Structure 1
Amino acid sequence: MGDASDLNVTEPDRRLDARRNRDAVIAAAIRILATDPEASMRRIAEESGVARITVYRHFPTREHLIQVLIDLVVEEERAVVATAITPDATAAAVFNRLGPGIIRVGERYRFLDNRPDRGAEAPLRRPDANEPLLIWLTEAAGRGELRTDLPPEWMYAMIHGLGRAANEEVLVGRRTADEAGRLLSRTLTHAFVARRDG
C-alpha cells in the first residue's frame, strides 16, 4: 500500500513537479555544457539536484537531451523574431533588433556548436508556412520594404546562414558578441532592404 502522503498529491501537482524536474535538468545542462560540452548525463543529473532515475525518465539518452536543447534554440530564435517585428517597425529596424538577438541565442547555446556530432547535423529544414520570420519576409517584400529580386525563402536561409557565421566569429574570438550583433544587423540591412532611388 502506498504512502498516505501520496494520496494527497493531485495530478496537477505531479505534472508541476515533473515540469520543475525537467526544467532543472535543462538549466543544469545549459550551465554545465557551456564550460564542458562533453559532460556526462551522470554529472548533469548530479548537478541538477534531480534523482538520476527521474532524469532518465525525461531524457532517456544524452542525444535526447541535446535534441531538446536544439528545439529550445528554435523556440528562442522565434521569440527573438517576435520581439523584433512590431507593426510600426521599418525593415531596417527589424534587422537592427534581429542581429543582436540572434547573437544572444547563439551565445547562450554556443556549446551546441562544439559538440562532437555536429558534423552529422541535418541541413536547415525548409520552413513551413507558419514560420514567423518567413511570413514577415514575404509581407515586407510585398510592401516593397525588401528586395523583390530575392525570394523570401532564400532570404530566410541566408539569415540563418549569416547568423551561424556571425556566432562562429564570436566562438573563435574574432569578434565580441556586441560587435557581431551590430555587424550582423548591418549586413542583413545592406543585403535585403530595398534601396530607394533618389
Structure 2
Amino acid sequence: MDARRNRDAVIAAAIRILATDPEASMRQIAAESGVARITVYRHFPTREHLIQALIDLVVEQERAVVTTAITPDATAAEVFDRLGPGIIRVGERYRFLDSRSGSVTDAPLRHPAADEPLLMWLIGAAERGELRTDLPPEWMYAMIHGLGRAANEEVLVGRRTAAEAGRLLAGTLTHAFVAGRARSATSPE
C-alpha cells in the first residue's frame, strides 16, 4: 500500500513541477513529492522511466475520454462533441510532455492496440454508416490524433482558449468524418 501511495505521490509531484519546469530534475521532483530520493529511484530508476510512466498515464486518460464519449445511443456527432473538449483537457494537463518528440501523442499511433477504444468505435461507426465510407477508420484515427495535437498547440501558444479549441476540434471532427457532412475526399472540386 505504501509503495503505491509513494509512486502516486511522485507521479502527482512530477505533473505539478514539470508543468512549470519541464527540465526539473529527479531531485526536485523527489523534494516536491515528499518521498525520499532513494524511494523515487526505486520506482523510477531514470528520468526516462518517470516520463514513460507519465506517457502511459496520458494514454490511459485519453482512453478514458474516449470511453466516456462513446455511449450506445450517441450519434457520431455527439461522440465528437464530447471527444473534442476531452482531448483538450488531457492535452492541457500534460502539455509539458508535448515538446518531447515521439512521445505522448505519437505513442498510440505507432502501435494501436487491437482493443484501442477509439479505433474500435471508428470501425464500428463506419460499418453502421455513421461515418464517411471513403476514409478508412485507421486514417480517421490518425487524423484525430494529429488534429488533437494541433488543437492543443493552439491553446499552448495562446491563439485559442481551451474551450474554443475543444469546440472547434469537435466541429472539425464532425464535419470531416460524419457521413453526409463533408464532400468526399476523392470527389473532384
Letter of the structure 2 residue corresponding to residue 176 of structure 1: T
Matches within 5 A, 1:158-177: 158-177=143-162
Match of 2:136 in 1: 151
TM-score (structure 2 length as normaliser): 0.91
Which structure's CA Rg is the greater one?
Answer: 1
Letter of the structure 2 residue corresponding to residue 108 of structure 1: R
Matches within 5 A, 1:76-155: 76-114=61-99, 118-119=100-101, 121=103, 124-155=109-140
TM-score (structure 1 length as normaliser): 0.87
SS of the equivalent of 2:20 reads coil
> Following the alignment from structure 1 to structure 2, what is the Cα–Cα distance between the partners of residues 120 and 84?
26
Match of 1:45 in 2: 30
Unaligned 5+ residue runs, structure 2?
A: 182-189
Matches within 5 A, 1:24-63: 24-63=9-48
**Structure 1 residue 95, shift from structure 2 partner:** 0.0
Match for residue 66 of structure 1 among 45, 51, 61 = 51
**Structure 1 residue 120, shift from structure 2 partner:** 5.4
Misfit runs of 4+, over 6 Å: none
Unaligned 5+ residue runs, structure 1?
A: 1-15
RMSD after superposition:
1.2
**Structure 1 residue 128, shift from structure 2 partner:** 2.2
Matches within 5 A, 1:10-21: 16-21=1-6
Cα distance change, pair 141–104 in 1 and its aligned pair in 2 (3 A): same
> Following the alignment from structure 2 to structure 1, what is the Cα–Cα distance between the partners of residues 114 and 64?
17
**Structure 1 residue 113, shift from structure 2 partner:** 1.8
Number of residue equivalences: 178
Match of 1:9 in 2: none
Cα distance change, pair 154–38 in 1 and its aligned pair in 2 (3 A): same
Cα shift readout 1:90-130 (whole Å, capped 9, x = no counterpart): 0000000000000000000011123xxx2354673131221
